[in-house]
Amino acid sequence: MSSSPQLQDEDAPRLVRLRGRAFTVADDKPTFWAKAEAGLWEPETLEALEALVGPGDAVLDIGAWVGPTALFSAALGARVVAVEADPRAQALLAGNLAANPDLAERVAVVPRAAAAAPGAVRLGAPRKRGDSMSSVLHAGRDNAWEVEAIAPAELVALLPPHRTLLVKIDIEGGEYDLLPALAPALPPSAGALLVAFHPGNLAEAGLPPEAIRERTRAVFAALAGYAPVPLGGAAEAPESLAERVSHAGDTVVFRRHPAARE
């Protein structure tokens, strides 16, 4: 008797469409891609990319995972620097890029961990490698590994020529250490950042609420040249927004003030 077709075809190349952009995926995440196609995975993130990214732009995708935002940004015409530190996710991302040679030529993969300083970084995954949840905050778990870091100056030097830069950061709690170092290294062309805040990971690592508030405020202070707005939400005072995301989490769009471009 033959094995299940579902098991046979789980990692077979298949066409997916996100907000009208079609590309092929060849990983082992069919459930994820079905959810994304149905508009149930971060629709506000894709909508923001669609509004902020186009031909001639660059995207610095920190925490690229298997490539949903990298592939989508490339399909929008942008050139992408995709940073991913999880070796299993790297392999799946490579497979997805190989399945899209027209998009792959616009995506440069950096198989390192974006960090405030160079050196070796230890990360871990709460379930398994490639599950999108690897983080420096899980370094003490059994399922952990070391990877070479890439510091902000070296990372910015990899950016291709571009009109406007968008930075997307989703690294499961690593954003609190990275952003105060990355923000001053960004070029004036950096028009916006999409930052996913993960206070729950800090709390799980043992940080008390006030320490999480302080680290969140430090990120907002480092990005003082940008106007923060919750992704898909209404504008609110930066102090109020920082307080809210320090305990509830959220993805925040930081849009550069016009005066800060000069």
Cα 171 from chain centre: 6
Across residues 205-233, what is the average pLDDT? 96
* Domain limits, the chain: 42-261
Comparing 38 with 258, the larger pLDDT belongs to 38
DSSP 8-class letter at 160: P
pLDDT band at 151 (very low <50, low <70, confident <90, very high): very high
247/241 Cα distance (integer angstroms): 10
Predicted structure pTM score:
0.94
Which range, of 30-39, 113-122, 232-241, averages the lowest pLDDT?
Answer: 232-241
pLDDT, tens only, 73-91? 999 999 999 999 999 999 9
What is residue 12's three-state secondary structure? coil
Averaged pLDDT, 228-232: 93
Report pLDDT for 2. 39
Q: What is the pLDDT of residue 10?
A: 63
**Domain at 42-261: CATH code:** 3.40.50.150
Asked whether residue 4 carries a pLDDT value surpassing 70, the answer given is no
Using one digit for the tens of pLDDT, what is the confidence trace for 41-70?
999 999 999 999 999 999 999 999 999 999
Residue with token string 């070391």: 146
Question: Distance between CA 14 and CA 96 in Å, rounded?
Answer: 10
